[in-house]
Structure 1
Amino acid sequence: MTNKKLNRALSIAPMLDWTDRHYRYFARLMSANTVLYTEMVTTGAIIHGQGDYLAYNEEEHPVALQLGGSNPKDLATCAKLAFERGYDEINLNVGCPSDRVQNGRFGACLMGEPQLVAECVDAMKQVADIPVTVKTRIGIDEQDSYQFLTDFVDSVKAVGCDTFIVHARKAWLQGLSPKENREIPELNYERVYQLKRDYADLNISINGGVKTLEDSLTHLEQLDGVMIGREAYQNPYLLAKVDQIIYGDDKPVITREQVIEQMMPYIEQHLAQGGRLNHITRHMIGLFQGLPGSRGWRRHLSENAHKAGAGVSVIWDAVARMELSRPPADVTFYPNNNL
């Protein structure tokens, strides 16, 4: 299955070192509809790198590739490859504020070069018959007026881009770390709502500070989509009710036990190919977030999954550790319960 029709009501943000193909496979088990984004991949890595930076699992659809770059020709080369590989969307990063990204002349600093962004988007649209979208901020440094944002949107819209994912904070290009840029600049949700009111023909999703599905429903009253970042990684079971609450499906909610069981063939295949257990279990650490005994689960995985020869028994041992640390009156993990 390729190029699945996208409903961006809910998506998971591209997060460097986090949203790799193992996390995306894991996330897909909990939600069939959520749009998943790759980590940002630079054009240089795809064109000149030694590895396969476009690899993904077919089960991940709908899946979007986020590209980092500012050379229209290079972006077009990568977009064509991504289209041929079956990605459902290509997203241009115009939001990352890190020094390394700025030195490469891409990310949030591109907000200051809207015509270049338009050229990049146009070049990709010419070679890829899938949506080409832009993830941006509401502003950069002192350029944070609503006029600045609409001028940017107008320029990119002019080449046919109809989908924008807007992180509702501006970015400080100097003086703040990427982590601080996710927390210190104030959230301005109303700015994004206003953008949708003024550009009703565009598909506008919001990103930044969203922690619950209830928050998401509130945003969806005003917007087309919500993108959740760190919360969906640190508390991944949040995704288990997305299909029901956000997309209106009436299927049963998958249990945590079922998630683990359905991960097992994937993990065993990864190990058989020479991979290490912690490459996958690091993404599963938060599966029991907030439940009694979850510390035992996290600790056992953290202390044992990285060891040479670690196999799937480590995961079931981690479940047992969690069981042992629960109050006696608490519900047991087996058989299929609805934790």
Structure 2
Amino acid sequence: MNFKLTTALAGVAVLAGVAAAGATELRLSHQWSDKDVRHQVAKIVADEVAAADVDLEIKIFPSQSLFKAREQYKPLSRGQLDMTVLPLSYAGGQQPAYNLTLMPGLVKNHDHAARLTSSPFMDELEKIMAEDDVMPLVHGYLAGGFAGKEGCITGPDDVQGLQTRAAGKAFEQMLAGAGASIASMASSEIYNAMQTGVLDAANTSSSSFVSYRIYEQVACYTPPGEYALWFMYQPLLVNKTTFDKLDEAQQKALLDASAKAQAFYLEEAKKEDAESRTVFQENGVEIKDMTAEEFDAWRAIAQETSYKAFVEDMDDDGQTLLDMALAVE
């Protein structure tokens, strides 16, 4: 090989090294396995950004391998973490307004949830996130339902006197207001508690009902359908300063990827609910849907319990935010 060719190749190698060194790597942390829909959402964003070829790489750390489940928001807001998929209510201690993202009766169904994420209510939440140097890239809600060991749980009268597990403090407040006794536990403990007679009824996500095989312990299941009470906002978030430092092409690639991931998230969330209905049916469990009247009855109890407690915690701003959420049809 002649000297000129060798020199030229060396120059190309140096330029390639400079280009590689100039690539930006973002770290994305979440708590779920690589089979979970929330990991799939993160992976779509990472893959689409890689395909855009804008010197931006997103490295995903699943299964709490980088930060513990409830310890991701603070490092994100401090710039110690670039991105996360997180139930926003986990950060309700830092920002009480976030507790509205896991509040009974605020969301009726997935299409309603999608309208909520593009409403003035979400604009206000985004302003609060910005105060913490955080911004959402992908909006998404996952839903849940009820299951009863002996009978169906659709309306408030159905839980009177029952030992019930609820997903979240606001749901415990509402269920207690309807006359239930509350048993606090992780969703992974529901099966055992029902098997041993500790628990009569449970409220959790569709995916948890299936993955923890709760259909083996119950007589009736109320899946999310046209009406459901339990919706949890679980967005993909990015540190705002990190995003602002990206160049225009990188920002565009990230936003385009996020739009694709958000459409996927909505459809997959609906599929998870449908799958839970099918799995429980196939295992001989009665299926009973919540009616509009039952939904309204639950919301009336929530108004006097969960909503009231939220407003008291938040003062005047709480009532304004709550009204904005309730105004979304």
The TM-score normalised by the length of structure 1 is 0.25
**Which entry has the higher C-alpha Rg, 1 or 2?**
2
Larger relative contact order, structure 1 or 2 (CA cutoff 8 Å, min sep 6): 2
Q: Name the structure with the higher helix share.
A: 2
The TM-score normalised by the length of structure 2 is 0.26
